[in-house]
Chains A and B, each alone.
Chain A
């Protein structure tokens, strides 16, 4: 079993839809949680970074962490075709400098 599970999709939604992306994890020592966006043939771009349970909002993006359920989510409101990319969740423990990534979810937003 992988430490971080993420549905690879693809996920296809119409423009303007609310997108929900999720990851589950098994290691309760993970304390830092990140979401990255990766366009084709580019490096991952940091979108959201949280280190506690609860919600964090930044523009159209909301990151949610539920440590009791070992579950994190990224919500995208008013999705745009430019949001079409692969979204990677990532997490890290307090004791190490190794970041573990999910497989990534491929998102398509149709105009």
Chain B
């Protein structure tokens, strides 16, 4: 079974631009969660989607948004990029209940200049 895939793997953007990252979950998984990982803050939860609905949201500004499609694929968008948005963005998928194990993709490394 294929794992979680994320595209693109690397991205360089300029301050003020916007960016869209994509995540394809493991086949059969309906939940997708997004995380930001930085050396200073570690892994921080952004939001979680299940059946195209956002079920939970972390403490990030509204510039960070996401959505999920009917095939469970998910995208996250960051608008008006800031230097501090440079990070590894990870998505993880699971079957969807709170007891289910969560599996991560390789991440998208975003650099904002």
- Determine if B1 is an interface residue (Cβ-Cβ < 8 Å): no
Distance between B56 CB and nearest chain A CB, rounded to angstroms: 5
Tell me if B102 is interfacial: C-beta within 8 Å of chain A.
yes
Closest CB-CB distance, B8 to chain A, in whole Å? 14
Q: Shortest CB–CB separation between residue B30 and chain A, in angstroms?
A: 12
Q: Which of B50, B99, B107, B109 contacts A51 (CB 8 A)?
A: B99
* Bound Cα distance A97, B99 (Å): 9
Task: Confirm or deny: B112 has a beta carbon within 8 angstroms of a beta carbon on chain A.
Answer: no
Interface residues on B, range: 20 to 34
Instruction: Assess whether B98 is in contact with A92, with CB atoms less than 8 Å apart.
Output: yes
B33's partner among A46, A99, A102 (CB-CB below 8 A) is: A99
> In the assembled complex, which residues on chain A have CB atoms less than 8 Å from the CB atom of B44?
101
Please report which residues of chain A, range 21-36, place their CB below 8 angstroms from some CB of chain B when the two chains form the complex: 32, 34, 36
User: Which of chain B's residues have a CB closer than 8 A to the CB of A13?
Assistant: none
Q: A43-B90, A44-B90, A104-B42 are in contact. Are A97 and B98 (CB under 8 A)?
A: yes
Give chain B interface residues in 66-113, CB to chain A under 8 Å.
90, 92, 98-99, 101-107, 109
Q: Which residues of A contact B (CB under 8 A)?
A: 32, 34, 36, 41-46, 49, 51, 88, 90, 92-104
The chain B residues found within 8 Å of chain A, CB to CB, are 4, 31, 33, 35, 42-45, 48, 50, 55-56, 58, 90, 92, 98-99, 101-107, 109
Given contacts A34-B102, A98-B45, 9 further A-B contacts (CB under 8 A): A32-B98, A34-B101, A43-B4, A46-B104, A49-B101, A95-B98, A101-B43, A101-B44, A104-B43
